[in-house]
Amino acid sequence: MASAQRRGISREPGTPPTNANELTSPRAGAGTTPPVGGDTRVSSRKLGGSGLQRIRRPSRLFIHLLQLVLGSYLKLRLNVRFRNRALFRRLKPPYLVVANHVGFWDPFILSAIVPHPIYWVTADANFRSPVLRAALRLVGAIPKTKAMSDFDTVRMMVEIKRAGGVLGVFPEGRRTWDGLTLPVVPATAKLIRLLRIPVVAARFEGGYFTHPRWSPRMRRGILRVRLELGFSAEQLSRMPTGEVVERLERLIEHNEYEAAPRTTYGSRAPARGIERVLFACARCGAIGAIRSARHTARCDVCGLTVQCTGDGQLLPLAEGGNVPPTPRSILEWNHTQHEMLRCLIEEAVAERRAEPLFSDGPLRFMIGRKSDPLVTLGYGRLICYGDCLEFRGFRFRPQRPGRRYPRAPIRNADGSWSLVFSLSELEGTNVQNRERLEWYADSVLYHVRDPYERTSALKWLSAVNLLRRAGAASGR
């Protein structure tokens, strides 16, 4: 790992030499505790108490109200059209509903037409809000930590199956950023084989353009939902896991840019927030230089300006001469910027560069665990190196007597404080909502968000994945 000295990090006199990755108590020395802060203890309790979380029976009254009010609103607002919805009339619980994940409202749209309450597997981050937690419990949602194995979730799903309930899962484990279906998580296929109940596959078409993950606004066009029986219980008992994965991917696979017929998706600000997905300029390669307006996105470095349409097309406002053509869609742009980032990271790892690859700030740094409320640790910059991530801030909340940080910040020569995370200790790295980056280290959740919601969390997730591959290839 890059040494602390090359980043200008030092320790207070009298502080024993300690690693930023160690759990250090306040008695370790003056240099390991920041001068300002608040309660940073992370509770280890699980939602609903220790051990297996109690399964709550959904409130049928609340679900009927949601179907009547929210379900009807979404079907009208998003112009939802179902195909083969009569399939559910022939099915009796237990069964499993799977779908490609394109928008926040996906589970609500499907729950509006399924005649039985669905126990949806939901990111535990959604349970951190007291209001949302209460609503999710009323519909029987099952919390799960993103990008990490969760045995309690599997046990609850097996119990619901035995009780004759209906389960809901998104096999990709996350929403798409560019309109292309993501690979199926292999563990989901193993779970489907374990349950051995009928599987209904729903494919959303037009959902990405209706409400892109990076955009705060919904657009009205046409949202088609195609339903089919993907697996029977008998088929699952005979199919190997690899074959289940392949068939599952075919059932939910969808590319918004190849779908026909083309539909116009109206929006008053179709480009707003697009820098959350377009994190690098496709012309000059500058990282974090894209800024959006209502209808356009512009690179602050080279001046490239594109107009964004409601159906995800990117039209350059000035292009010609010897200037290479720019990508015409978010999908193409995402592929281009991913290759640019890969080249940058591979060169930095091969040359063992000490300087940062890129950084963002000011950001809010928080800690927590699973569905527990988050606690603000401080404000500062998140810095990406070739072998680690560093959060450097001038404002850290102080520790109260008898409580300590899960890991000790290190004092820098310029008076700031740093937390350093090697790539090997990052677990469950994922993006929540549109702009919130999360990872686990030492069983503690670290959560980073941009108060202005302009930082691309996708950039950081892509960088961590590419750094791990580059590090493995170089033997670091």
Largest CA distance in the chain: 74
Same domain, 244 and 362: no
Same domain, 280 and 183: no
Domain boundary among 252, 283, 317: 252
Q: Which of 2-6, 53-57, 195-199 has the lowest mean pLDDT?
A: 2-6
pLDDT digits (tens, 9 = 90+) for 389-448: 999 987 776 655 555 567 778 888 888 889 999 999 999 999 998 889 999 998 899 999
Q: What is the pLDDT of residue 31?
A: 39
Same domain, 37 and 73: no
Same domain, 200 and 88: yes
- Please check whether residue 428 lies inside any domain of the structure: yes
- Please check whether residue 195 lies inside any domain of the structure: yes
Same domain, 96 and 186: yes
The rounded distance, in Å, linking the Cα atoms of 394 and 124 is 30
Residue 331 CB burial class (10 angstroms; 0-12, 13-18, ≥19): buried
Same domain, 112 and 136: yes
Same domain, 224 and 169: yes
The rounded distance, in Å, linking the Cα atoms of 34 and 407 is 12
Q: What is the CATH number of the domain that holds 456?
A: 2.30.29.30
The rounded distance, in Å, linking the Cα atoms of 224 and 206 is 6
Annotate 401-458 with DSSP letters as a single string: TT---SS--EEBTTS-EEEEEEGGG-EEEEEETTTEEEEEETTEEEEEE-TTS-S-HH
Same domain, 280 and 200: no
- Please check whether residue 268 lies inside any domain of the structure: no
Domain boundary among 284, 319, 342: 342
pLDDT digits (tens, 9 = 90+) for 241-287: 999 999 999 999 999 998 755 778 888 999 999 999 999 999 999 99
Task: Quote the number of domains for the chain.
Answer: 3
Percent of the chain residues topping a pLDDT of 90: 60
Domain boundary among 342, 367, 387: 342
- Please check whether residue 412 lies inside any domain of the structure: yes
- Please check whether residue 4 lies inside any domain of the structure: no
Same domain, 338 and 360: no
The whole model's pTM is what?
0.83
Contacts with 81 (C-beta within 8 Å, 6 or more apart), sequence order? 222, 223, 224, 225
Same domain, 372 and 243: no
Same domain, 139 and 197: yes
Same domain, 300 and 223: no
Best CA proximity match to 349, nearest among 209, 256, 476: 476
Residue whose token pair is 């309690």 = 152
Phi first, then psi: give them for residue 215, nearest 5 degrees: -105, 140
User: Which span out of 146-150, 287-291, 318-322 was modeled with the highest average pLDDT?
Assistant: 287-291
- Please check whether residue 447 lies inside any domain of the structure: yes
Q: What is the pLDDT of residue 51?
A: 35
Helix (H) / strand (E) containing 202: strand 199-205
Domain holding 281, by residue range, is 274-342
